[in-house]
Amino acid sequence: MRPAYVAWLSTVFVGDFDDETLDVDVEEPPVPPGLGQPDSALAALVDFLHIDPDLFTAAAEGSPANTHDSEALRQWARGLSSKQQKRWLLRAIERPELALGREMIVAFLRQNPAPTVPPRTVAQLRARAHEVCELRENEEAELRERDRARRETERTLELQQLRKRWSANWKQLEKLVDQKHYDEATALTMKLRDADEGRRKPDFEQRLASLKRDFGRRRGYWQRVNARL
């Protein structure tokens, strides 16, 4: 049922479309269970048919979960008549190759179907897909902002630590340049430049000039630094 529903869903467009070519009052077919937990095959079909992810999410909201309540299943099994329990037991003995547990779950779900959702129209699915899109974009924007704030905080703390060990960091830079670790030295140089802006008495330029007097022949380092200053 799921592939058939997905195939129908591929006819419901989201975005720019011509209303005259699409009957937006048509109701969707029965929504199969488990649409919200697609396996790899179903996910590949959705991708192959170029179904809008937000539309698929909206459609899956009307799909009952393809799961069962374990406690409810146990109560159902305990409530079976002696004759029914004997039938299941004999089936397990006579057909050990069968996945009996899965068969029992199917029987349980058949007798205890999940609540059905009234069928939605194409227009309702499209409208919900747009809402899902807006919600997703808002969440993504919030995540980006939190990530930006986190990185900014980490950057501020890093620069503070650089200022606390100012002289030691410059000695470390001299060591890196002397040992020709130019990429690492360049990265530290840029950090020291940024940290210098928050110091009471900036001296980055003077220290860099002193470094050039001592290590002016380290062309690989200076080429990297000059390209970023």
Provide the Cα torsion 207, 208, 214, 216; round to 10°: -170
Q: Which residues contact 229 (CB under 8 A, 6 or more apart)?
A: 193
pLDDT at res. 83: 87
pLDDT at res. 16: 45
b/e burial code for range 54-68 (CB count within 10 A of at least 16 → b): bbbbbbbebbbebeb
Distance separating alpha carbons of residues 129 and 123, to the nearest angstrom? 10
Nearest CA-CA partner of 32 in 123, 119, 130, 112: 119
Nearest CA-CA partner of 184 in 154, 220, 152, 153: 220
Amino acid at 93: I
pLDDT at res. 82: 86
* pLDDT, tens digit only, all 229 positions of the chain: 789 999 999 888 654 444 556 678 888 998 888 888 888 999 999 999 999 999 999 999 988 766 666 777 888 888 888 888 888 888 888 887 777 777 887 787 777 766 667 899 999 999 999 999 999 999 999 999 999 999 999 999 999 999 999 999 999 999 999 999 999 999 999 999 999 987 778 899 999 999 999 999 999 999 999 999 8
Tokens 């030691």 locate to 168
